[in-house]
Chain A
Amino acid sequence: MARIVVQTEDFDTGAELARLTAGRLDVGGIGSFIGIVRDTAHGNPITAMTLEHYPGMTERAMTRIAEAAEARFGLLGCTLIHRVGPLSPGENIVLVLAAAPHRQAALDGTAFLIDWLKTRAPFWKKERFADGAQGWVDAREADDAAAARWGAL
């Protein structure tokens, strides 16, 4: 059963890991990805980032991605937590956890989840630069290619 959360506050990675295995002994491994705000974009210093999303569609898209991953990789559970609102360099943005009986499913499930999250979940990043300029982050073709290697969602 997937845990899907969109929140402004930070997440506790240790607590989330513990939650995935609580009360069960069939989990053999957990894959994880944690996205963090960098302090530069294309060599330009960043002072802040703001994440906007489409409430309703966001949770719907994340649930669909999680259900696809659970079915495809036989996951025993997964966690998707995405932060929104203002963030500073060094802060967490996203947590992806995938629990499975064996490592390959856990690692592949984690990659599948973050690849589709980056290309199918309606979030948008706006960066504020050290000189005061602001700009919306452009989508990267490399992200589409990464998701496409998994076939259709």
Chain B
Amino acid sequence: MKILYFAWLRERVGRGEEDVTLPSDISTVGQLVTWLRGRSAGHEAAFAQGRLVRCAVNQDFATPDATVTDRDEVAFFPPVTGG
């Protein structure tokens, strides 16, 4: 699975992209976040403010209950501030 991070999530994780092999017991965005938080102190810092983390699965906005598979592109980022 391809994971992307943007803005301050990217800075806290320390990279903008990583490839991970999804454990078989993870099937939702919420479960993925819980698992990612354990990967490093940077990941933990990035996801600590859960209220401010948004997610997209295959480039569409997704909620914590959205389904994910090993073939998906999943991105995490703060609320958008363009325009």
Residues on A facing B (Cβ under 8 Å): 35, 51-54, 56-57, 60-61, 82, 93-94, 114, 117-126, 136-139, 143
Instruction: Give min CB distance, B55 to chain A, whole Å.
Output: 11
Q: Are A122 and B83 in contact (CB under 8 A)?
A: no
A56-B59, A122-B56 known; A117-B82 Cβ under 8 A: yes
In the complex, the chain A residue whose C-beta lies closest to that of B54 is A122
Q: List 23 A-B contacts (CB under 8 A).
A: A52-B7, A53-B6, A54-B59, A57-B75, A94-B82, A94-B83, A117-B82, A117-B83, A118-B81, A118-B82, A121-B82, A121-B83, A123-B83, A124-B6, A124-B80, A124-B81, A126-B7, A136-B8, A138-B79, A139-B79, A139-B80, A139-B81, A143-B83
Contacts known (A60-B59, A120-B61, A122-B56); A54 close to B81, Cβ less than 8 A = no
Q: Lowest 6 CB-CB distances: which A-B pairs, in order?
A: A123-B82, A139-B79, A118-B83, A57-B59, A124-B7, A137-B81
The distance from the CB of A29 to the nearest CB of chain B, in whole angstroms, is 22
Q: Chain B contacts of A120 at CB under 8 A?
A: 61, 80
Name the residue on B nearest A93 (C-beta).
Answer: B83
Q: Which of B1-28 contact A (CB under 8 A)?
A: 4, 6-8
* Count of chain B residues near A, Cβ 8 A: 16
A136 lies within 8 A of B56 (CB): no
Q: Which listed residue (A94, A122, A143) contacts B77, Cβ 8 A? A: A122
Quote the shortest CB–CB distance from B32 to chain A (angstroms): 18
Q: Is B42 an interface residue (CB 8 A)?
A: no
Query: CA–CA, A149 to B40, complex, Å?
Result: 41
Does B30 interact with chain A (Cβ within 8 Å)? no
Question: Interface centre among A57, A61, A93, A114, by most B CB within 10 Å?
Answer: A57
Are A123 and B80 within 8 A (Cβ)? Answer: yes
Q: Which of B33-83 contact A (CB under 8 A)?
A: 56, 59-61, 75, 77-83
